[in-house]
Amino acid sequence: MDEKVIITCAVTGGMTVPAQSSAIPITVEQIVEDGVAAAEAGASVLHIHVREESTGRPVADLELFDRVLTQLKERTDAVLQPTTGGGRHMTIIERAAIVPRFRPEMATLNVGSFNFGLFTIAQRDLDFQPWELEYLEGTRDYIFKNTFADVTYLAGLMDAAGTRPEIEIYDVGHLFNLRQLVKEGVLSPPFNIQFVLGVLGANMVDPDQLIHMLRTAERIFGVDSFTWSAAGVGYPGEFQLAALSMMLGGNIRVGLEDNLRVRRTENAKSNVELVEKAVALADLFDRVPATPAEARAHLGLKGSQDTDF
């Protein structure tokens, strides 16, 4: 895989609200169209949230997930990775329900709690819906809850479903949480790790921090015990972290969930523009986007034929 890079596209999500950009896909049709186009542009993994179609509010609605996942599977061979992260007000039961229902090849697994601050967005001069302001301001008092009990519950569902977890690491302490979970037999290597930097309340986008987290993971678990990717939140952090990740031999994640700009003064018109920029960046490092089949082999996935959608 040295010459290949797995590009994940975070198609939509709870970190952005519709008032920030008209490019954010909201309806099932928009999410599907954006996901298919992103896969055609070079993304081999699609990270999926769903939204209430009338408002754009992040939800964990299984009927919406069913429509999105089924239609995407019909139109692309990309790995479909639904979130278990959810959003504010969602319980771990609600967030985890996608796993036994759909038995996806891969899903996210957060291994630590932390403050998750989006309230600074509410200070911008945008045409917010009332729910958006409440949602954003409410994160002043929001802890993204992922206790050891939560992780144990979700990991058990994934094991029963044959779903490979993508372990989300927002700060270095989460790696030590993971070590404890290994000691208790909840999780075991080899892991697929996603380093997420840039969320207010966790680690920031900084070269030293990514290198520190990567070297800590190597020291704790061993260099050959995990695959890894990096996601930078915001601009230019998304592409700075993508470049550093490829320099260090890792994979990358881009998408409108994490960042809305394709250039400092230009908003992306769709996820495609962000994926295309990632592909162009990869070319500068002599790396070629992995195909879905190559991504599945590298990540140890069961294949789309063994999912329930």
Q: Please check the confidence at residue 1 and state whether its pLDDT lies above 80.
A: no
Q: Does domain 4-306 have CATH number 3.30.450.20?
A: no
pLDDT at 15: 83
Q: Please check the confidence at residue 42 and state whether its pLDDT lies above 70.
A: yes
Percentage of the chain modeled with pLDDT above 70: 100
pLDDT at 87: 82
Give the tens place of pLDDT for each residue, 170-199: 999 999 999 999 999 999 999 999 999 999
pLDDT at 88: 84
Query: What average pLDDT does the segment 198-218 reach?
Result: 97
Give the tens place of pLDDT for each residue, 111-125: 999 999 999 999 999
Residue spans of the domains in the chain: they are 4-306
* CA–CA distance, 20 with 235 (Å, rounded to integer): 14
- CB neighbour list of residue 246: distance below 8 Å, 6 or more residues apart: 5, 252, 281, 282, 285, 287
- β-pairing, 4-5 with 7-10? unpaired
Q: Please check the confidence at residue 229 and state whether its pLDDT lies above 80.
A: yes
Is pTM beyond 0.85 here?
yes
pLDDT at 52: 96
Percentage of the chain modeled with pLDDT above 90: 97
* CA–CA distance, 10 with 16 (Å, rounded to integer): 12
Q: Please check the confidence at residue 36 and state whether its pLDDT lies above 70.
A: yes
